[in-house]
Amino acid sequence: MRIEYLEKEGLFRLIAGETEYVIGIADEKYVGHVYFGKQIEDNRCGCLMRTEEAPFVPSKNLREKCSFADTFPAEYSTWGMGDYRDSCLNVRSAAGFRGCELHYQGYRILAGKPELPGLPATFCQDKEGKDGRTLELECRDEVLGLKVILRYSVFADSEAVIRSAELVNEGEEPLYLERVLTACMDMDMEEGDMLTLAGSWARERHMVRRPLAFGKQMVSSFRGESGHQDHPFLAVMGRDAGQDRGEVYAMHFVYSGNFMAEAEMSQFGSVRLLMGIHPEGFEWVLEPGKTFITPEVVCVYSHEGLGKMTHIFHDLYRNHLIRSPYLHAKRPILINNWEATYFDFNTEKLLEIAREAKKRGVEMLVMDDGWFGDRNVDEGHLGDWEVNEKKLPGGLPHLVEQVRALGMEFGIWFEPEMVSPKSKLYQAHPEWAIRIPEREPVQSRAQYVLDLSRPEVVEYVYESVARILRSAPISYVKWDMNRQMTDVGSVWLGQKHQGELFHRYVLGLYELQERLIKEFPKLLLENCASGGARFDPGMLYYSPQIWCSDDTDAIERLEIQEGTSLLYPLSTMGAHVSACPNHIVGRVTPFKTRGYVAMAGTFGYELDITKLLEEEKHLIEEQVKMYHRFQPLVREGDYYRVASWRENHRYDCWQVVAKDKSEALITYVQVLAEPNWHSRKIRLKGLDPEAEYRLEEIEMEANHQTKVGKTTADQIYKGAFLMYGGLLLPRLTGDFMSKMIYLSDVRICR
């Protein structure tokens, strides 16, 4: 890791592992993007900005300033002064004029990485910041009196480059920020593909790859959350790039609200990537002396395909974003009552579930929606966070005490950001809901969103949650959010600041979760939003795990978890075994397969265990043992995608390999049975070619112990054999069948 300034050449060079990022200061102090890719370390690389080609820089050819601006590879593009590609920044002056042009003023290279006040951000592990460096480039628009600091950080153990921007109004009049994205990146790519994650409720983060074409291609959200539909991620890649080969340039946004991510191919075949807060509905009034900081963007380059990109994101998030004490700790195996009972439960029913679950080795009971106010359907009482004593006589302390007496921990569900029209809270404070005065507010799931830009609302919400957590020993909170924003208005913000509401809401949310984890440092927090509508790096800063999707069907989950694990470590993906027929798709899959798929995440149950067959309860005991055995590997290891059911329409296979390559776990799901085929050859990845691995087939059978295949000399293979020759897996009979195989280096006794 290194950041250096080459004064003679006017270049800044950032080295992160094998990756190099170069920024150039062109004549007239335009800040240009020179290079992002595999390390080249050539001081002549400034020529890649092409300022010597026509139409030159304005100092040499003023009559073509516009052509210059429209082709120059900008580090932070601005609107209205000749660059017609999409820009990062658009500012309106107090007099009402739009236009902005930035010129370089100076730089600082700092040890460590500054925090972004109020925002989630990657951080150094070392308290003195010895494992990080930050470059700050100071730029200015003299006419507006606007200072912009462009920040770039790198870490000693990562190849990612982290970007953000800070804007300071140094003038005497307010400035109106109509658009403030975090970053753009210009590159040459006349042919390539764009990769995004897309979906809907119950089918989040499916990978979508499409050819890049002339013009703008964008994914975005202005729903007030990152959303089910699009994800704040974008990559462009060579046509030939795949899991293990080819170039990939990726950007991921550390933010949980509105976003846009765009790839724009220009008239000259160059591509500009842009990422930041969505400008739709956004306007920030920057008063004199005030500062606005953008959320950060993680930029990743890989010359070894998506696999390497995935490893860079996983390690960055595990080492520099997730703060929870649970990051490297075993998470309790939980059972959640949502799919078991929905709203129809009471203390006795919950205890019945807890007793049976405890017998089988489950460690925590989570009480989901419906425990407060008079909430027996989803129409009521969000906002009235008082225990419903009709359902839970003796209140929460009594229930928690009984659950803990069984030797289990207790967790609880909240949806703190919402209010139901029927609640006492809404009757008392209709002005606390986000709405446009004079308009009937739009309901969604019969609820409104609270105005978190308002400090008294943040205070009320915080105290509602904290009061409950102080009342009993509660180990876990599922923080849910079940609607998107509409009629975005705040009577509190007044006429001038309405454009700030979306972003101020997200800042309010971050403040709430920050306070929560500070007051309850041992709390295991799991974020959730109608399943996975706010599964983003921003939320990971507060909670080490996020509920992936309301779709718990093992086969649907293959694609959801494939897309999610493209960027997120397996330890962050909330995944549970649920009952069949599955409540969302009605599919029936083997209990064993449901267990294997959920084991690629945080693992738990989402069913009424008291209604299961004895055989299934035995399988739970087996799964619990497997979880204890394998979860450190799943949590800490390197994830490899071996085969994708999305691509081959037949089977799915992934692998987790220990960092020291001493062990590996392979999960194989044969989605549809195929007649008359020979065995399937699976080439493994990431092993030590020289090591000898003992192969164990994990056989999980009801009424039996988990069987480990007999180890004979035939079951010991060299890593090279397994990676280049392959492992022969017999065809399985029946749809949705699966297998798990464990490899351990014979030199190491486990």
Q: Which residues are catalytic?
A: 480, 550
DSSP states along 550-575: S---HHHHHHHHHHHHTTS-GGGEE-
Site residues for ligand DGJ per CB under 6 A:
338, 368-369, 413, 480, 482, 528, 530-531, 547, 550
Residue 15: strand, helix, or coil: strand
- Long-range CB contacts for residues 142-148, cutoff 8 Å, separation at least 24: 142/103, 143/93, 143/101, 144/91, 144/93, 144/100, 144/171, 144/175, 145/169, 145/170, 145/171, 145/172, 145/175, 146/91, 146/100, 146/170, 146/171, 146/175, 146/286, 147/105, 148/76, 148/89, 148/102
Beta bridge partners of 738: 669
The whole-angstrom separation of Cα 263 and Cα 274 is 7
**The two three-digit tokens of residue 159, written as one number:** 């190849």
Name the percent of the chain in helix, strand, coil, to the closest 5.
25, 30, 45
The whole-angstrom separation of Cα 588 and Cα 401 is 36
**99-130 as b/e, with b when 16 or more CB fall inside 10 Å?**
bbbbebeebeeeebbbebeebbbbbbeeeebe
- φ, ψ of residue 206 to 5 degrees: the values are -80, 140
Residues present in the chain in total? 750
Contacts of 233 (CB under 8 A, 6+ apart): 196, 197, 250, 251, 252, 253, 261, 567
The whole-angstrom separation of Cα 103 and Cα 122 is 28
Nearer to ligand DGJ, 299 or 528 (CB): 528
Smallest Cα–Cα separation from 295: which of 271, 272, 321, 313?
Answer: 321
- Cα 70 to Cα 51, 88, 266, 269, 295, distances in angstroms: 12, 14, 9, 13, 26
The whole-angstrom separation of Cα 47 and Cα 241 is 27
Q: Where does residue 522 fall: left (phi above 0), alpha (psi -120 to 50 degrees), or beta otherwise?
A: alpha
Contacts of 433 (CB under 8 A, 6+ apart): 419, 426, 441, 448, 449, 450, 451
| Strand ranges, E, within 323-376 | 334-336, 364-367
- Nearest-approach distance from CB 367 to ligand DGJ, in angstroms: 10
Beta bridge partners of 254: none
H helix or E strand, kind and range, residue 92: strand 89-92
Asked whether 128 and 111 are in contact (CB, 8 A), the reply is: yes
Nearer to ligand DGJ, 356 or 480 (CB): 480
**The two three-digit tokens of residue 88, written as one number:** 């990062």
The whole-angstrom separation of Cα 706 and Cα 696 is 11
Asked whether 547 and 528 are in contact (CB, 8 A), the reply is: yes
- φ, ψ of residue 35 to 5 degrees: the values are -165, 145
Neighbour count for residue 597 (Cβ, 10 Å)? 27
Asked whether 252 and 233 are in contact (CB, 8 A), the reply is: yes
Asked whether 236 and 195 are in contact (CB, 8 A), the reply is: yes
Neighbour count for residue 689 (Cβ, 10 Å)? 12
- Cα 470 to Cα 113, 210, 480, 520, 653, distances in angstroms: 35, 50, 19, 9, 44
Q: What's the one-letter identity of residue 285?
A: V
The whole-angstrom separation of Cα 535 and Cα 572 is 9
**The two three-digit tokens of residue 297, written as one number:** 């963007």
Residue 336: strand, helix, or coil: strand
